[in-house]
Structure 1
C-alpha cells in the first residue's frame, strides 16, 4: 500500500510517498480502508525527530483517521460489519491507505457528518473530553481559558465547554482569528495574545477571579503566567509543549491558590484507557455533533501525496480548524 514516510528528521520536505507492506489486523483489531487522516502537532514533532512513536506503534505518521471497515482480526468484541463508516484514534499509521487498530479505539461516524470531515474528530474529541471533563472536571458556570482557540483542539474545546455551560476565554494570534472565536464559536472572552496580556484581560473580565481551568498547548513559556491566571482551586492541564519543556515556577503562588498542575498525553495510554475515553466521546460528544451544537471546522484538505505541502501549510499557523489528508 501507499503511505507517507520520513526521509530524515526535519522540515515538511522530508515527507515522501512510498510503498510499504499493508497492515494485518491482530487479535481484537479491525482493518480500515482510510478515507482521510487528520494532521496534528504531534505529527510535526515526530517529523522533526522529537516525538518517537510508543513501543509497538507504527512509525508512519497519523493519529486519527476516518474510513470504512475492511476486515477483522480474531476475537473482535465490538459489533462492526465490513463497509461500516468509522473513525479511529491511533498511536500511529494514519497517513496510509489502510490501518489496523484495536476495535476499542474505533467508533461509527456520528450522524450528519460526512466520511472525510469525520477525520477531524477523533483526536480532538478524545483529547478535549478526556482532559477538560474527565481530568479537570470542568463544571457549568466555571471559567475556562483555552490557548490556541482556533486550532483543531481549540475549536473543539471551545464548543464543548460552551455546550456544558462554562464561561469560555480563548487566545489566538490575529484579529481575524479573534473575530472567528467571537462570531463563529461564541467565545465570551477572545484574547489576541500578540497584542494583549491574557492574564490581565482575564482578571479584568472576570472581576479578578481568573480561570478555574486552563487547557494549555504551549508549556514552559506560559507556565508562570498560567498559574498567575488561575483562580483559587484552579486546574492547569498541560497537553502540549510548543513553548518548551523547562521553566521556573513560583511555587508560593501555586500553593497559595491551592491549585493543581496536570500533565497528560493521549498517544501512549494503554488501549483500555483509550477505549474508555472513546466510549465517553460516543456518549457525550457525538450527540452534540449530530444535533449541530458542536461543529467540525476544516481549514483545508490535501491529497495524501501532498503531505509535505499540507505540513508546510500547518506549520505556517495560518489555518483555523483542522488540516486533513485525503486518500
Structure 2
C-alpha cells in the first residue's frame, strides 16, 4: 500500500511517500480502506518530535481516518498512528459509525476538532448560558466549530480571534458577535473592548506565548482559560498561583486522549451530539482543503503557515 513515512524528525520535508506492507490487525481490531485521513496541527509537532508523547521512528503519521469496513459500513476512527495511508488498523473502541447525512470529511472534522471544542466547552471551561467566550484561532478546525457550539450552548457573546480579514469574516458568518485581530498589540485590551468594556468569562486558547499571558489578564472574576495547544511554539509565562486566587480565575489544560479516562462514554456522547447537529444542519463543518496523499508535505506547510481555515484532509484514493 502507499503511505507517508517519517524516518527522521524535522519539518514537512521529512514526510515521504513510500510503499509499505498492509498493516496487520490484531484479533480485536479492524483493517479498513481509508477514504480520507485527517491532518492535525499535532501531526506537525509529531513530525519534529515536539509533541506531548514522544515518537519512535520509523512511523506513519495520522491519528484519524474515515473509511470503510470490509462489509461496506462507513466509520471514522482515532488511531495510534498510521492514518496517512491507503489502509489502516482501527480499534472498535475509538471508532464511530458515520450516519447518513454526514460526509467523510465532516466526520473527520468532528472526531478530533469537534470533540475537542465540545469537551473544552462542556468539561474544561464548563461554559454557562449567557457567558462571554473568546475563541482563538477561530477560523481553524477547532475554532470554526467552537464558535458555533458556543452559540448553540447559549453563550451570551462569542469573540473570535483570527489573523486575517477573510478569517474574521468567516467567524462572523459562523455566528461570532465580535472579532479581534490576532496581531492586536495588546490582546488584553482588545478582548475587553470586544466584550463591550467587560472582562471575559471563558477563553479557548491553542496559541500559547504572549497570547495566553494577555488573555489570562482579560478574564473576569471566576473566568476560565482552557489551554489545548501551542501553535505559536512559544511557552507562556508560568502561572503565578497567588494570582489565580487574587482574581478568582482558573486555568485548565486539555488533551483529548484523557477523555477516555472519564467515567461514562464521554466521547460517545460528544460524537452523538455532534453527528446530530451536522445531520440536522445546525452545525457546519469547514473543509479547508483536500490534498492527495502524495501532497502531505504541502498540507503540513499550509497548516504551519497558519494561513488555512477549517479542516485539512488527505485523500489516499488518488
Q: Residue 113 in 1 paired to residue 98 in 2? A: no
The gaps in structure 2 that reach 5 residues or longer are none
Q: Distance in 1 between matches of 2:268 and 2:204?
A: 22
**CA-to-partner distance for each residue in 1:56-83, whole Å, 9 max, x for gaps?**
999321121111113xxxxxxxxxxx21
Residue range with higher mean Cα deviation, 116-125 or 248-257: 248-257
1:288-308 deviations in Å (ceiling 9; x for gaps): 111111111011111111111
Are positions 1:237 and 2:226 aligned together? yes
Deviation at 1:35, TM superposition (A): 0.5
State the Cα distance separating 1:273 from its structure 2 match. Answer: 4.9
Cα distance 1:57–1:278, how it changes in 2: closer, same or farther (>3 A)? Answer: farther
Correspondence for 2:298: 309
Q: Secondary structure at the match of 1:283?
A: helix
Aligned to 1:292: 281
Q: Deviations over 1:238-291 (max 9, x none)?
A: 101223235244544422221111112124x38555982321123322111111
Match of 2:207 among 218, 238, 252: 218
Partner of 2:39: 39
1:264 and 2:254 correspond: yes
Q: How does 1:1-327 map to 2 (within 5 A)?
A: 1-51=1-51, 53=53, 59-70=59-70, 82-166=71-155, 167-182=157-172, 184-195=173-184, 197-243=186-232, 244-267=234-257, 269=258, 273=262, 276-327=265-316
Q: Deviations over 1:62-105 (max 9, x none)?
A: 121111113xxxxxxxxxxx211111122322111122222121
Q: Aligned in 2, Cα 1:165/1:233: closer, same or farther, shift over 3 Å? A: same
1:106 touches 1:278 (CA, 8 Å); kept in 2? no
Task: Output the TM-score relative to the length of structure 1.
Answer: 0.88
Displacement of 1:153 after TM fit?
0.9
Pick closer, same or farther for the CA change 1:311–1:55 going to 2, 3 Å: closer
- CA drift of 1:27 comes to 4.7
SS at 1:279's partner residue? helix
Indicate conservation of the 8 Å contact 2:25/2:89, yes or no: yes
Could you list the runs of 5+ residues in structure 1 that have no partner in the other structure? 71-81
TM-score by length of 2: 0.90
Task: Give the whole-Å Cα distance in 2 for the aligned partners of 1:312 and 1:135.
Answer: 30
Note the C-alpha offset of 1:160: 1.0
